[in-house]
Each structure stands twice: as C-alpha cells, then as structure tokens.
Amino acid sequence: MTTRILEGKEFARQFKEDAGKKAAEWKEKYGMAPGLAVIIVGENPASQVYVRNKHKSCEELGIHSEVIAMPEETTKEELIARIDALNEDKKIHGILVQLPLPKQIAAHEAEILNRIAPVKDVDGFHPVNVGRLVTGEEGLVPCTPAGCIRMLELAGIPMDGKKAVVIGRSNIVGKPMFHLLLARNATVTVCHSHTQNLAEITRDADILVAAIGKPKFVTADMVKPGATVIDVGINRIAPKKLVGDVDFEQVKEVAGAITPVPGGVGLLTVAMLMQNVVKAMEMQMQMR
C-alpha cells in the first residue's frame, strides 16, 4: 500500500486561488477590496513573523491589509478602543488580534477577543460564531479546522458515515473539528487527557485528527491500517527541528493518507484566513 502524503502547499495554493478570485469579484461588484486589520501588541518575534505572513498573503491576493502595531505597555482599554474603531470602519471586513498578548492584558484575552464584532471575527472565536457552528448556521469558523475539512473535501476523502476520532478538545481546534466532522455526517469521538483506553479508540478511526501539542504522541500501533491521519500539532524539539503530534515515519507505514509536519496543516491556516476575510465581506455587504 502506498501512503498518500497530503502536502499542505498544494491545498493552500487552491484555497488562496479561490480567495483571490472572490476578492477580485467583490472589488468589481462593490468597488472596494476585502479588508483585514491585524493588531499586534508588543514585539514578540514569533508573532511578528505570523503577522508578516498574513500581510504578505493579503498583498498577493488583492486584499487590503492594515497592520496595527501597538506598544508592549498598551492597556486593555486602549486595545478595546482600537477594536471598537475597527468595528465601525467600513473598509475593514476582518479583525484579528495576534496572540499571545503581553502579560498585563493576557488575563483579559477573552474580553478583548469578544469585543470584535462577530461578523468581522475572522478567527471564528467569538461566542456568536461558536454558537452558529454548533447549531449548523452560517458563520465564520476557526481557520485551522476549517482548512482541515476543506483539505479532506478537495482530496476526495469521504467523511459521510465514517468514524472520526479527534485527540484534543481545545476551543481553537478540537471542539470546532468535532462539529465540522459531525456536520458532514461522520460519527465523531473526542479524546482528551482523561480518556481511558485511548489506543483502542483511535484504532477504530477512519479519520484520526491529532491536536494536543505532544511531540510524536500518536504511534503506529494507535492507527487503523488505511486510516487518514491529520496532524495539527507543531512542536519545536530543537532550534531548527519541528515535529507534529504524530510519529510521521512510523505512522506513514500504516496510514492510507497523512499530513506531514512541517509542510502540512500549518500552511492551510493562513490560506483559510484569506477565505474567511472574503466571506466576512460578503456577509457584511448582504447586511447593508
């Protein structure tokens, strides 16, 4: 059996292509490009790299991009005031606050993120968007799990009627992944740190999603032969060495399809963000 390697680069290219076409369409129709504002507070080097990548992707696709750099000592009130102004700004359709926040405002993270208008919440974290996901209504969905689902669709990997297991129950990946798979008629089990007989459960999965942040946690004996394995984890185990939550070399001998790390799911996140920005613009224009 030849294992299919699901390279993120190819899927991300298709996502971006779709977003670029939509952006051009909306510019033609509404006389303005979709707009994304990214707020970065402080000078976290990793955050700066992520923000640069987002800005570059916007430029490539004809999406208007504003990077708002605020000083490390920014107060909660100052940050919220900036979000309020962007909520009212008609040329901004998506707002994103880059995490992590500096320590003096980190405790207020939920309050700050919830200040973003749900229709501009391109991260899909606002309780209104979470509620829409749970009830099956149209809304903005977190980029990483949305990208994973779109990848499965483009790869022609069936979800309907399949058994899916998600390892991890975070609000960013695990929980939304559960709801997205369920919406596509998969039978879904969520496993976490209190799950008993984990390997027994994962060996039953046609689709296995690992999102726990533990290097090489999923081993070959935990995987059903021929299963599709999606590795969401990114773990730095040396200055220049990244690995996923799945032991790739072991598991690729068993799986039918698998995402690598690096070069897999990570590339889908920014590409899916671009799709969320054009979708947010469409939603807002329909409301006017």
- Could you list the active site residues? 54, 98, 123
Ramachandran region, residue 242 (left: φ > 0; alpha: ψ -120 to 50; beta: rest): beta
Per DSSP, helices labelled H in the chain are 8-30, 45-61, 76-88, 103-106, 109-113, 127-135, 143-154, 174-183, 198-202, 248-251, 266-287
N- to C-terminal Cα separation, the chain: 54
Are 124 and 141 a contacting pair, CB within 8 Å? Answer: yes
How far is 162 from 186, CA to CA, in rounded Å? 5
Are 8 and 264 a contacting pair, CB within 8 Å? Answer: yes
Scan for tokens 């598991």, then name that residue.
251
Sign of CA dihedral 282, 170, 95, 153: negative
Scan for tokens 């939509």, then name that residue.
22
Q: Which residues pair with 257 in a beta bridge?
A: 4, 228
